[in-house]
Amino acid sequence: DATIGGVVVATALHDYSRAAAGAGGGPTRIADIDSTSDITDLTLTVGGGDTTLYEADGTTPKATVGAWNRAGSPSTSTAAITAAGGGGVVTNGGTVSATDLYARISAAGIGADFSDPSRVYMVSVLVSQQALTGTDATVGMWISPSQNFGASNGSFGGQQYRASGSSFRFRGIRYLAGGFGVGGDLATNASAEATTVCTLVLYRGRLADIYITEGGIIPATFPVPGASVFRSTGGADAVAIDATMPLYSSDLYVTVEVFTGSSNVSTARIERITVDEWDL
C-alpha cells in the first residue's frame, strides 16, 4: 500500500517464483566424497583394481576406489584410506616410482551427462599433507577416462613439483596424443604448499579450465584467479584445452599421484572430491 498522511492512495499486487537450485544460477553439488570421516579403514593393493570404500557401518558403499602404479617399482609404495590418517594417504619412496590413488565416479551414478551441452561440471580435489622431500618429487591431481591416466588420451590435471631445495612450483599438465605436455609455471614458492585444491571445469565432455588454489577451501563457484588462485590455460606445450576429441562420457577417474625419483619418501593425502553441476 502507498499512503499519504495515513490514507491509502494506491495498492500494488506482486507475485514471484523461485528457480530450482542450480537452474540458470548457482551450482548443484551432485557428488561429495569425503574420505576423512564416516569410513571403514581400507588398505589398497597397488595395481589391485577397483574396490569399494564403505561408510563406517561397513556395509554402505561410499565410493569406488583403487591404487595404480604408473611408472617404476611399486615395492616401496603404499595407499590406504583410514580414519586415523585423515583420508586417503599415498606414500612413495625408495625407488623411482609414481603411485596413484583414484576414485572412479560413474556419470549415471551421480545423475550426470558430461557431454550434455546444456550443463557445465566442476570437479574439485582437496589434497593435504603434501610432502615433496626430493628435488624431483611431484604431487599431481588428475581427471582421466581410465585409472591409468599416463596411457589415456584426455587426461588433464594440475601439479605441484619441487624444482630445487627452495623452489616449489605449480603447473598444468596433460596426457594427449600419446605424450605428456606441461604448462608454464603458475607460481613459485620457497616451501611446499601443504594443502591445495585442484579444480577442473568440463563442458561438452571436454576440459574447459584448470585452477589450482592454495589452501583447503573448495570453490563454491568458478574460481577467480588472484593471489592464491592460479589458472592454467591453453598453449602449444601447455594444457591443450582445444582438444577435438570428446574426453568424458560414462566414467570419470579422479586421481592423486605422488612421484619420486630418489630414495626420499614423499606423501599426499586426499581429503575430498566434489562434483558441481550448472544448468545453462
Which residues are CB-contacts of 14 (< 8 A; sequence separation ≥ 6)? none
Distance of CA 240 to the CA centre of its chain: 18
The pLDDT, as a whole number, for residue 97 is 83
Note the pLDDT of residue 246.
52
User: Three cell numbers at 213?
Assistant: 588454489
How far, in Å, CA of 24 to CA of 169, rounded? 36
In this prediction, residue 275 carries a pLDDT of 97
pLDDT of residue 176: 73
- 3-state SS of 24-89 is CCCCEEEEEEECCCCCCCEEECECCCCEEEECCCCCCEEEEEEEEEEEECCCCCEEEEECCCCEEE
pLDDT for the residue 64 = 97
Closest CA to 115 of 207, 209, 249: 249
Per-position pLDDT tens, the chain of length 280: 565 555 554 665 544 333 444 445 689 999 999 999 999 999 999 889 999 999 999 999 999 999 988 887 766 788 999 999 999 999 887 678 888 999 999 999 999 999 899 999 999 999 999 999 888 899 999 998 888 887 777 788 899 999 998 999 999 888 876 778 788 889 999 999 999 999 999 988 888 889 999 999 999 999 999 999 999 864 444 444 444 455 687 889 999 999 887 777 889 999 999 999 999 8
Q: pTM for this structure?
A: 0.86
Q: What's residue 8's pLDDT?
A: 54
Residue from 113, 102, 87, 147 nearest 30 by CA: 113
The set of residues, in sequence order, having a beta carbon less than 8 Å from that of 191 and lying 6+ positions away, is 166, 168
Query: Which tens digit of pLDDT belongs to each residue from 251-262?
Result: 899 999 998 877
Task: Report pLDDT for 135.
Answer: 83
Picking from 69, 91, 88, the residue whose alpha carbon sits closest to that of residue 273 is 88
Q: What is the pLDDT of residues 89-132, one digit of tens each?
A: 998 876 788 889 999 999 999 999 998 999 999 999 999 999 99
Residue pair 274/31 in contact by the 8 Å Cβ criterion: yes
Q: What is the spatial distance between Cα 240 and Cα 194, in angstroms, rounded to a whole number?
A: 27
